[in-house]
Structure 1
Amino acid sequence: MVLDPAMQDWRAVLGRNVRKIRQQRRMTQEKLAFEAEIDLTYMGGIERGKRNPSLLVMARIAEALSVPLTKLLSD
Structure 2
Amino acid sequence: MKNRIKVLRAERDWSQQTLAQELGVSRQAVNAVERGKHDPSLQLAFDIANIFNLRIDDVFFPEKKLNTDSNEES
Q: Which has the higher strand share?
A: 2
| Alignment partner, residue 59 of structure 2 | 72
Residue correspondences, number: 62
CA radius of gyration, larger in: 2
The Cα of 1:70 is off from its aligned counterpart by 1.9
RMSD: 1.5
CA distance in 2, matches of 1:52, 1:74: 11
User: Unpaired segments of 5 or more residues in structure 2?
Assistant: 63-74
Which is helix-richer, 1 or 2?
1
Runs of 4+ in 1 over 4 A off after TM superposition: none
Shift of 1:66: 2.4
> Where in structure 1 are there 5+ consecutive unaligned residues?
1-10
Q: Contact conserved, 1:36 with 1:61, CA < 8 A, in 2?
A: yes
